[in-house]
Chains A and B, each alone.
Chain A
Amino acid sequence: MSSTIRSDDDPVTATRRRFLTAGTAALGGAVVGAGAAAAETDNLPPNVPEWMKAPGEPTGGQLYGTPSPFEKGVVRNISTTLKQYISASSRSPLQDLDGIITPNGLFYERHHGGVPAIDPAQHRLMLHGLVERPLIFTIEDLRRFPSESRIHFLECSGNPGYSKPYGKTASDLVGLVSCAEWTGVSLKLVLQEAGLKPGAKWVVAEGADAAALTRSIPIEKCLEDAILVYSQNGERLRPQQGYPLRLFLPGFEGNMSVKWLRRLHVTAEPVYSREETSKYTDLLPDGTAREFSFYMEAKSIITRPSGGQRLSAPGFHEITGIAWSGHGKIARVEVSVDDGRSWQDARLQEPVLTRAFTRFRLPWQWDGKPAMIQSRAIDETGYVQPTLAELLAVRGENYFYHNNAIWPWRIDDNGEVTNALA
């Protein structure tokens, strides 16, 4: 055991380290350019890294941990030129993330009336309408019900729009999607507690934010897999995700998973709120508009290599990304590295879960020549992710929501990766 640990009592070694440190400092002061290079090699073999020569920060220095300062660039992505930031969105940095779980601090945001600061002790959920017993629940009440945890993606329906300008990075393009483990109580159990009356066909959900955001949900979805969520990735919801209570509807457009949930109104028909008539309806070229278009269809994006990144050299590179479908599990993800002429199956990383991110990977040898890479998802219903041209041919540019197009990346001979459709 002791032989594997370098001894700081060794006078020769300790002296040598001090000499190297002092020498580097002097050199850095004398020659600015070379100093940086010398500092970069100071901690590299055969030298002993400086962080091994003294104890680190004390335990408990951060009672709520934050990422390394070297990761400070990995943050949510929000435009700096919006007209206002009360009703706005920020995007998850998809190209910097691995696996299928989005950290809570990097989960995408979409708010319609800002982020309310709610005291959970003063928050209530009211359940009324076509029920036998209208009820009011505290958060502690809801935590008494049998609980469940499930991993699902959540995606804003406008991710992205159909017209230019398109974004540069994976985050710019489709960063309004994230995936987490959600814990709460099945909405079905809570509805049974109140007892549905005959004729109960819809549930109108309302948030306790300044928009009092309201959406109508078909009763079938409420009884299938809807959850009243109080925790995300193991901890209580963040304020940006609806603290202390949100509705969660797996596979449905994100706007319907009402945050800061305060009221469930069981009705015979939808309420036709502004958020399901004026907004979140899909305008077709002939002037008709689709309403109550809930599901997010199958979609994928290569996150590495992706827009804004640069391949360092020809040779081996793993192509990886995420795929998801509101209609169930991802069955396959195909990747093309030759501008869509041929496609090959990517390997799907377990677990492959319903209505959740699935991570895919494909080993690739880049020959250093310009290339076009892209992925397409196929879900368990057999649905194949379409191209943007195919979507535009059917929907036109004014459709705005539910764009699930394949998004190709162009790789130049210098390794730079850019949006091939921009």
Chain B
Amino acid sequence: MRWREICGVAIAIAVCGFASGTQAQTTYGIGRPATTAEIAGWNIDIGRDGSNLPKGSGSVSHGREVFAEQCASCHGDKGEGGLGDRLVGGQGTIGTPKPIRTVGSYWPYAPTLFDYIRRAMPQNAPQSLSDEDVYAVSAYVLNLNGLVGADATLDAKSLAAIKMPNRDKFVGDARPDVKK
């Protein structure tokens, strides 16, 4: 009995060691290693700072063509919305009774545009656009919102450098906010 208790404590210590997360020891030996190539193929997460943005670039003018072909049927010719969300305008409305939430008025980070278009758009064929086309459409939507010029070409560095107008308007969760 006494010996069992000692064993139990020892096991508990071992489990706690794993829980700290820094042990280089496999607990169950389940799963197989993921290779660098496999991870690169699946990891399409783009950080708000533009981390993991791919090589390549795209221009506003090329984006206009891709948008007309791939996006306008849902989002309107100029991003005014339709079946899909409105993408353009609304700057200055966010703190009013009738806010218009668009990429230009509400989105805090420009690289998220690349992330989202690549992973989820167009809705009928996500992950079908080339990286160049995604850069171009991102540039065009930002241009429609007055955030880059008509002659702009965006790449990883320049996309990440854009400061979105609503960038500093996000705050933490202050709930519970109704006090009794």
Q: Which residues of A contact B (CB under 8 A)?
A: 83-84, 86-87, 112-113, 126-128, 132-137, 141-142, 144-145, 188-189, 191-198, 200, 204, 206, 210-214, 223, 262-263, 265, 267, 269, 271-274, 277-278, 281-283, 285-295, 297, 383-384, 386, 390-391, 394-395, 397-398, 402
Q: A135-B31, A141-B30 are in contact. Are A126 and B173 (CB under 8 A)?
A: no
Contact of B42 among A83, A126, A283 (CB under 8 A): A126
User: Which among B31, B43, B45, B47 has the highest number of chain A CB atoms within 10 Å?
Assistant: B31
Per the bound structure, the CA–CA distance linking A49 and B147 in Å amounts to 75
- B172 & A290 in contact (Cβ 8 Å cutoff): yes
Additional pairs, 14, CB under 8 Å, beyond known A193-B30, A273-B115:
A113-B126, A126-B42, A135-B32, A136-B38, A137-B31, A144-B28, A194-B31, A211-B120, A212-B44, A283-B94, A289-B170, A290-B170, A291-B172, A297-B176
0/1 interface trace, chain B 122-143, chain A, CB 8 Å (1 if under): 0100110000000000000000
Q: Which residues of A contact B127 (CB under 8 A)?
A: 212
Per the bound structure, the CA–CA distance linking A199 and B70 in Å amounts to 40
- A272 & B83 in contact (Cβ 8 Å cutoff): no
Asked if B106 is at the interface (CB within 8 A of a chain A CB), the reply is yes
Minimum CB distance partner of B123 in chain A: A86
- B42 & A195 in contact (Cβ 8 Å cutoff): no
- B39 & A134 in contact (Cβ 8 Å cutoff): yes
- B34 & A128 in contact (Cβ 8 Å cutoff): yes
How many residues of B are in contact with the other chain, CB < 8 A?
A: 55
- B31 & A193 in contact (Cβ 8 Å cutoff): yes
Asked if B109 is at the interface (CB within 8 A of a chain A CB), the reply is yes
Minimum CB distance partner of A274 in chain B: B116
- B99 & A126 in contact (Cβ 8 Å cutoff): no
- B173 & A293 in contact (Cβ 8 Å cutoff): yes
Q: Which residues of B contact A112 (CB under 8 A)?
A: 120
Q: A126-B34, A269-B47 are in contact. Are A214 and B119 (CB under 8 A)?
A: yes
**Chain-A contact segment, one of B5-13, B15-23, B58-66, B149-157:** B15-23
Asked if B1 is at the interface (CB within 8 A of a chain A CB), the reply is no
Per the bound structure, the CA–CA distance linking A278 and B123 in Å amounts to 17
Asked if B101 is at the interface (CB within 8 A of a chain A CB), the reply is yes
- A289 & B32 in contact (Cβ 8 Å cutoff): no
- B21 & A134 in contact (Cβ 8 Å cutoff): no
Minimum CB distance partner of B168 in chain A: A288
- B32 & A198 in contact (Cβ 8 Å cutoff): no
Q: A212-B44, A278-B106 are in contact. Are A136 and B126 (CB under 8 A)?
A: no
Q: A212-B120, A272-B47 are in contact. Are A195 and B23 (CB under 8 A)?
A: yes
0/1 interface trace, chain B 31-72, chain A, CB 8 Å (1 if under): 111100011001111111000000000000000000000000
- A386 & B178 in contact (Cβ 8 Å cutoff): yes
Q: A206-B45, A210-B126, A289-B170 are in contact. Are A196 and B33 (CB under 8 A)?
A: no
Q: Which residues of B contact A397 (CB under 8 A)?
A: 97
- B31 & A141 in contact (Cβ 8 Å cutoff): yes
Tell me how far the C-beta of A332 lies from the nearest C-beta in chain B, rounded to whole angstroms: 13
- A383 & B176 in contact (Cβ 8 Å cutoff): yes
- B33 & A136 in contact (Cβ 8 Å cutoff): yes
Contact of B99 among A134, A262, A398 (CB under 8 A): A398
Interface of B is mostly: loop
Q: A277-B112, A278-B112, A294-B173 are in contact. Are A287 and B126 (CB under 8 A)?
A: no
- B31 & A136 in contact (Cβ 8 Å cutoff): yes
Q: A126-B42, A136-B31 are in contact. Are A188 and B19 (CB under 8 A)?
A: yes
- B172 & A395 in contact (Cβ 8 Å cutoff): no
- B22 & A288 in contact (Cβ 8 Å cutoff): no
Per the bound structure, the CA–CA distance linking A371 and B96 in Å amounts to 38
Q: Which residues of A contact B173 (CB under 8 A)?
A: 282, 290-295
Tell me how far the C-beta of A233 lies from the nearest C-beta in chain B, rounded to whole angstroms: 26
User: Which among B27, B46, B112, B178 has the highest number of chain A CB atoms within 10 Å?
Assistant: B178
Contact of A262 among B42, B106, B123 (CB under 8 A): B42
Asked if B76 is at the interface (CB within 8 A of a chain A CB), the reply is no
Q: Which residues of B contact A390 (CB under 8 A)?
A: 178
- B33 & A133 in contact (Cβ 8 Å cutoff): yes
Question: 18 A–B contact pairs at CB < 8 A?
Answer: A132-B24, A135-B31, A145-B30, A189-B27, A189-B28, A192-B19, A192-B21, A195-B23, A195-B24, A197-B21, A210-B123, A271-B48, A272-B47, A287-B96, A287-B169, A290-B170, A386-B180, A391-B178
Contact of B32 among A136, A223, A402 (CB under 8 A): A136
Tell me how far the C-beta of B103 lies from the nearest C-beta in chain A, rounded to whole angstroms: 8
Minimum CB distance partner of A405 in chain B: B178
Per the bound structure, the CA–CA distance linking A144 and B28 in Å amounts to 9
Contact of B172 among A113, A126, A286, A292 (CB under 8 A): A292
Tell me how far the C-beta of A416 lies from the nearest C-beta in chain B, rounded to whole angstroms: 31
Q: Which residues of B contact A144 (CB under 8 A)?
A: 28, 30
Minimum CB distance partner of B20 in chain A: A196
Q: Which residues of A contact B4 (CB under 8 A)?
A: none
Per the bound structure, the CA–CA distance linking A384 and B177 in Å amounts to 11
Q: Which residues of A contact B43 (CB under 8 A)?
A: 128, 263, 265
Q: Which residues of A contact B19 (CB under 8 A)?
A: 188, 192, 223
Q: Which residues of A contact B106 (CB under 8 A)?
A: 278, 289
Q: Which residues of B contact A204 (CB under 8 A)?
A: 45
Minimum CB distance partner of B93 in chain A: A287
Minimum CB distance partner of B34 in chain A: A134
